[in-house]
């Protein structure tokens, strides 16, 4: 399954490269593309591809819901015994899929591609990613394997486990790790983006990172608490010191700057802690609203579902 957002130019080359690999590896396959509200003719390209080969199916969101949600929808609609998730921009080379399948046949249910280098990604992004993984590891109740991303093979059992997770805030990288199952990595080299540019601007990456941390850890909240405790202790000690000093040596009126500085410092800390709590409350709010995860505007293909669905149940609803 492939999440696609404004990738019209990449789709045909991707399918060209995927087909021979899949034909050589498995008896039957389908490609599920999730058009994440593209505005560049991606949907038309998908329709054309489906018209030429019925094994290429697509769903199209009513608007852009983000890659994480697109992946969730793809997993809802892909019904193979094995599902491979990959990007549309040819950064995930299809030629690695045989290696995934080999691992799967060895008994691994969750086979992830492991980036050997991040050369194509720019220094800022690379360092940011590194810092994030270090932070996640130290906060973590869940361990993320290094260099593992969304390029991976999932056994049906893993797919069903992921589909059963109800949360709206979907940090897939964490969820893959959270569900467990025997997992292993296959190293691969990230290719150059074929056409277009990355959809992840720095700001988006930052909020993505905080989403990841906050949905897998409450450590940021604990940090606020401990910071508060620490500062309270320091304040008490300082208070005692001044009391003793005043008793022994009397008052000296100056001290105005330190007063201002400490007031500002503490109100800063309080606002940060409040904001942090607010972030979590906001996320709780988003979860309890139980808005649908995505809205499907159109389905392209999935003809076989009209007869007998392999999983025996109905086509997934247009809303989830
Ligand atoms: N993508 C998506 N929805 C979005 C942003 C990206 O489905 O809102 C898809 C995109 O089409 C591509 C994949 O996610 O197939 C990875 O995106 P991109 O290559 O822009 O990210 P990068 O490789 O720079 O991390
Ligand atoms: Mg990319």
**Ligand nearest 121 Cα, by number?**
1
**One-character DSSP codes across 231-263:** HHHHHHHHHHHHHHHHHHH---S--HHHHHHHH
What confidence tens digit (pLDDT) does each residue in 178-236 have? 888 898 988 888 877 777 777 777 777 777 787 787 777 777 777 777 887 788 788 88
Looking at the structure, give the CATH architecture of the domain made up of residues 2-201+291-305. Alpha-Beta Complex (3.90)
Q: For a pLDDT cut of 90, what percent of the chain falls above it?
A: 20
What confidence tens digit (pLDDT) does each residue in 83-109 have? 999 998 888 899 899 999 999 999 999
Contacts of 212 (CB under 8 A, 6+ apart): 132, 136, 171, 173, 174
Residue nearest atom 2 in ligand 1 by C-alpha distance: 67
Relative to beta strand 56-61, strand 296-300 is: antiparallel
The CA-to-CA distance between both ends of the chain, in Å, stands at 18
- pLDDT given for residue 312 in this prediction: 42
Residue 2's DSSP bridge partners are 33
Which tokens go with 315? Answer: 């086509």
Q: Are the C-beta atoms of residues 92 and 115 closer than 8 Å to each other? A: no
Contacts of 68 (CB under 8 A, 6+ apart): 170, 171, 172
What ranges do the domains of the chain cover? 2-201+291-305, 219-289
Closest CA to 156 of 234, 82, 262: 82
Residue 59's DSSP bridge partners are 34, 299
191 Cα: distance to centroid of ligand 1 (angstroms): 14
283 lines ligand 1 (CB under 6 A): no
200 Cα: distance to centroid of ligand 1 (angstroms): 7
């Amino acid at each position: 399954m492939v999440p696609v957002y404004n990738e019209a130019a990449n789709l045909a080359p991707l399918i060209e490269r995927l087909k021979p690999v899949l034909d050589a590896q498995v008896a039957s396959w389908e490609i599920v593309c999730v058009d994440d509200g593209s505005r560049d003719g991606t949907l038309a390209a998908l329709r054309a591809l489906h018209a030429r080969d019925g094994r290429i199916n697509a769903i199209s969101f009513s608007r852009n819901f983000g890659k994480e949600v697109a992946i969730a929808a793809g997993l809802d609609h892909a019904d193979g015994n094995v599902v491979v998730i990959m990007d549309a921009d040819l950064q995930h080379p299809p030629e690695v899929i045989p290696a995934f399948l080999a691992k799967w046949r060895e008994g691994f249910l969750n086979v992830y591609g492991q980036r050997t280098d991040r050369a194509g990604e720019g220094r800022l992004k690379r360092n940011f990613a590194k810092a994030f993984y270090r932070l996640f590891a130290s906060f973590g109740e869940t361990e993320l394997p290094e260099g593992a991303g969304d390029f991976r093979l999932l056994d049906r059992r893993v797919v069903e486990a992921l589909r059963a997770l109800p949360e709206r805030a979907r940090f897939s990288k964490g969820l893959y790790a959270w569900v467990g199952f025997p997992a292993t990595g296959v190293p691969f080299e990230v290719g150059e983006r074929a056409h277009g540019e990355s959809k992840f601007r720095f700001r988006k990456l930052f909020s993505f990172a905080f989403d990841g941390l906050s949905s897998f850890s409450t450590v940021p909240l604990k940090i606020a608490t401990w910071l508060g405790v620490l500062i309270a202790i320091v304040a008490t000690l300082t208070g005692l010191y001044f009391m003793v000093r005043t008793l022994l040596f009397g008052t000296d009126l100056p001290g105005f700057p330190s007063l201002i500085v400490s007031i500002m410092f503490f109100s800063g800390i309080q606002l940060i802690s409040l904001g942090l709590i607010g972030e979590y409350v906001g996320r709780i709010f988003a979860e309890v609203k139980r808005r649908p995860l995505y809205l499907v505007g159109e389905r392209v293909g999935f003809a076989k579902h009209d007869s007998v669905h392999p999983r025996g149940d109905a086509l997934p609803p247009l809303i989830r």
